[in-house]
Amino acid sequence: MSLLSVRNLSKAFGGLRAVSHLSFAVEAGEILGLIGPNGAGKTTVFNLITGFLPPTAGEIQLEGTNLVGLKPHAVAQRGVARTFQIVKPFRKLSVKENVTLAAFMRLPARRDAEAAAARVLDHVGLSAKLESAAADLTLAEQKRLEMARALATHPQLLLLDEPMGGLNPKEVEDASALVMRIRDTGVTVILVEHVMKAIMRLSDRVIVVHHGEKIADGPPDQVVRNPEVIAAYLGERVA
């Protein structure tokens, strides 16, 4: 059975169909790239899976159990963690406290949660910043903090919403290596990203969404040659 299966997922905002009859599956252990032009509905898909938005129609199942209708915190407790495209740290709290709060979900004792937070922060390379306020970090560091916070909930499935957006090439390299390391610890990843180099390198499989519909699904090198995908990104004439 797939780790996550999405069937006929639709979301309408008034007359706008942000997501339309979208179906896909995510296998345990893979990195699935989710790409598409701006406004294609990628973030909406994340919001639907994690319970931040209720779907208009469709099914979402994690290991065969339904996720639709659950509040975000309940989805998190079932093992689905996410980051936000526009970073949303607890700005006034320290880096350590940011991640400790997330670790509380599995480890109710503060000492255990702090130890787990320290391990995760070491893993993402933020050990030197433990006591800094989250607001004082650079964007690259804040993106790492997003990932650390999500990882501290000990997820099976991690949804990364543009973890490399706005980073310089060196930072993109580092972030790619981090996503690889995360997958190697056994966490399944869905990656929304516009940095194509990273998507090509990291993804085992890529799904392309356009106007809320899936237009391609396959290995990255095949998907980028797909005429429909090229048309979606660059317009009909180029394709």
Partner 1 sequence: MRRVVAAGAIGVLFAIPVLTTNQFLIHLAITVLMWTVLGISWNLLGGYAGQVSFGHATFFGVGAYATMILYLKLGLAPWYGMVLGGLLGAAVSLPIGLICFRLRGPYFSLATLAVAEIVRLVALNWEAVTEGPVGLLITTLPQVNFGSRPVNWESKVPFYYLVMTLAVGAMLVTYGFSRSRLGAYLLAIREDEDTAESIGIDTARAKVITLALSAFLAGVAGGFYGMYFRYVDPDAVFPIALSVEMVFIAVVGGLATVAGPIVGSIFLVTVSELFRERFLVGHLIFYGLCMMLTIRYLPEGIWGAMRRAFTTYVAVKRS
The residues binding partner 1 (CB under 8 A) are 50, 52, 71-74, 76-77, 81-82, 84, 88-93, 97, 100-102, 104-105, 108, 110, 149-150, 152-153
Question: DSSP for 134-162?
Answer: GGGS-HHHHHHHHHHHHHTT--SEEEEE-
Closer by beta carbon to partner 1, 51 or else 220: 51
Considering the complex, what minimum distance in angstroms separates the CB of residue 224 from partner 1? 31
Considering the complex, what minimum distance in angstroms separates the CB of residue 19 from partner 1? 19
Handedness of CA 75, 45, 23, 189 (dihedral sign): negative
Q: Which has the closest alpha carbon to 35: 218, 182, 237, 239? A: 218
Considering the complex, what minimum distance in angstroms separates the CB of residue 4 from partner 1? 17
Closer by beta carbon to partner 1, 101 or else 200: 101
Considering the complex, what minimum distance in angstroms separates the CB of residue 27 from partner 1? 24
Closer by beta carbon to partner 1, 59 or else 97: 97
